[in-house]
Structure 1
Amino acid sequence: MADFARTPKARVAVLISGAGSNMAALLYASRLPGAAYEIVLVASNDPDAAGLALADAEGLETCALSHKGMARAEHDAAMDAAIRASGADYVALAGYMRILTDDFVAKWRGRMLNIHPSLLPKYKGLDTHARAIDAGDSHGGVSVHLVTPELDAGEVLGQLPVAIRDGDTADDLAARVRLAEHQLYPRVLGEYVSRAYRADWLLEQVRTRALALPEAEERASHGAPGWRTAGKSGKYFAYFNDRHHGSEHIALLVKTSGPDEMESLIERAPEAYFKPAFYGASGWIGVILDRPGLDWQSVEDWLERSWAAVAPKRLASLQRAAAEL
């Protein structure tokens, strides 16, 4: 679990086109204790959207820019500028009835979410409830997914099924699915924006990168995940530290050239490094993972460098040759 007491809240811009009921669900959830995000902007392509009045009454910054008479790319650029001016880290589409340009989507890759009223990959696009009923499905539902250039095709982050009852009309089903939307979207958004501070997500990111190195294997050490070169003579090149031994950080422990380099790095960037208990005396350093703006390429570089320090010469030579290619 993320420690929200020391985790900065993600800043989210919400785009709407109508009543904004999902925006309202996101807003009120953001004001509950322990929320992982805050709403910093509500923007719409329809100046008369009812959701704008709600957002304004709640003291939120709003932006209204009609798309009528504007080229799609021009309108998207203007919306993007407003989002960036708000300082948003993420964008949540909540009934935003616009097909976005590839350029706009690319700028927010991995940071733009959408809610869709079906159990994707079923029924992309419109008329989802009628299509589910006509197909004889037992359930409709709702999905929250990442936005990609292909409509409703991004990675699904969460779903909630809603039973289809005998005699349901599309409107009947839509009303119940809307209730499910209001439950699902705040939870999935909160989980997604806080993942960079959660030990389980950070561990998977490190594990994937560590095991991508030649002949690397995972083996626990004193109850903590660790990675070493394979074989009887294998040596550890990294450990995962989830606030162990009194540390306040979730961190990757890797080898430096020695205590002098370790101390120098910590002095220059105390927000990024610390001296780990027990390991620090021999030149290992803690690379802090649960911090804003973490550069995963730097983490990969540390893993490879630490691996090279203990890997057999034949493996290190092969790795250098591959890098040169």
Structure 2
Amino acid sequence: MSKAKVAVLISGRGSNMAALLYASRLPDCPYEIVLVTGDKPGAPGLALAEAEGVAVVRLPAYTPKDKGQFYGALHRALERAGVEYIALAGFMRILPGDFIEKWAGRIVNVHPSLLPKYKGLDTHARAIEAKDAAAGCSVHVVTAELDDGPVLGQVEVAVLPDDTAETLAARVLIAEHQLYPRALADYVMRDRTPEAKLARVREIAMALPGAEETTSHGMPCFRVAGGKMFCYFTHDHHGDGIVAIIVKTSGPDEQAQLIDQDPDVYYRPAYFGPSGWIGVRLDTPDTDWDHIADRIELSWKLVAPRKLLGIREF
């Protein structure tokens, strides 16, 4: 399975960026760092990323009046790099709402407190002042409200009697370096496993009138009201290593046309191919789930009885 493409945004030395980068080089890590950038073109972390062979974009520093231009350029740089997820790692800017909306659900951040405690700045001093027994860090999904998105993971760090904000921050940073790579890996895998993809296919197929799930040829599949099959889910079937759906087409001509148009997505499945069925891969880096839903519904329409077609049209 291909690795998720991640961009890291920084403002300073990039220690959390480095933790994410070095973790990404482990053989079982499900993400890769494809871009490092930020709001300060002279940030030391950018030089480190370049030395490690990672693509770097040095965007000009911006003032409030340049904000829209900066985030427009950032968005274009991310798209050119094929980025799927953004990891904020000491990026000391509040992202604008329209940027967050474009990347909704695909931006994560590490924050130096046990959220929902101590959102914003001065988290260590606030924990000490409150006489907390433990401080810590959190990784969360970024939403429009500051430090308020769903928490993906946390690590507690004991507050020592003689701690200052600086000494506590140093230990919390160690915890961040341990937590962030694991939380990011878990997050990018949440919809990339075969089980997650089957759940998504099941949701689409079972929303169609008369749909039932069963098993055939050793694969989960979906049929219409105890009758004809319209969708199979295949995962490494016959050892081919592919995660895909197999759906009907109108016949061999359409099958051949689809494969010719996009051979990276479509393929002629073993045993099913001669009958005009087509494989649609779900293990590409950028699965288009709207397109998958359309293919499943088109397949359903080819086998559904007229009375069910009428229900769907209504």
> Which category describes the TM-score, using the shorter chain as reference length?
0.7 to 0.9
- Structure 1's 229 and 84: CA in aligned 2 closer, same or farther, altered over 3 A? closer
Letter paired with 1:146: V
1:58 corresponds to which residue? 52
Q: Match for 2:38: what amino acid?
A: S
**Whole-angstrom distance in 2 between the partners of 1:269 and 1:80:** 27
CA-CA distance at 1:287 after TM superposition:
1.0
Q: CA 1:244–1:103 in structure 2 vs 1: closer, same or farther (change >3 Å)?
A: same
Deviations 1:34-72 (A, max 9, x none): 544443433232355332343344344352533346443
Partner Cα separation in structure 2 for residue 147 and residue 57 of structure 1: 29
Aligned to 2:213: 218
1:20 aligns with 2:11: no
Counterpart check, 1:249 vs 2:222: no
Q: Supply the RMSD in Å over aligned alpha carbons.
A: 3.1
Which residue of the partner structure matches residue 67 of structure 2?
A: 72
Which of 25, 32, 50 lines up with 1:31 in the alignment? Answer: 25
Q: Tell me if structure 1 keeps the 8 A contact 2:113–2:135.
A: yes
Post-superposition offset of 1:202: 1.7
Conserved in 1, the CA contact under 8 Å of 2:9 and 2:90? Answer: yes
The residue correspondences of 1:162-311 to structure 2 (distance < 5 A) are 162-165=156-159, 167=161, 169=163, 171=166, 173-193=168-188, 197-230=192-225, 233-311=226-304
From 309, 313, 317, the equivalent of 2:310 is: 317
Aligned equivalents of 2:73, 2:291: Cα separation in 1: 33
Unpaired runs of at least 5, structure 1: none
Q: CA deviation at 1:151?
A: 1.9
Secondary structure, aligned partner of 1:225: strand
Q: Aligned pair 1:90/2:92, yes or no?
A: no
Count residues in correspondence: 312
- 2:108 is matched with which residue? 113
Amino acid aligned to 2:94: I
The verdict on how the C-alpha distance between 1:210 and 1:75 changes in structure 2, with shifts beyond 3 A counting, is same
- Separation in 2 of the partners of 1:214 and 1:171? 61
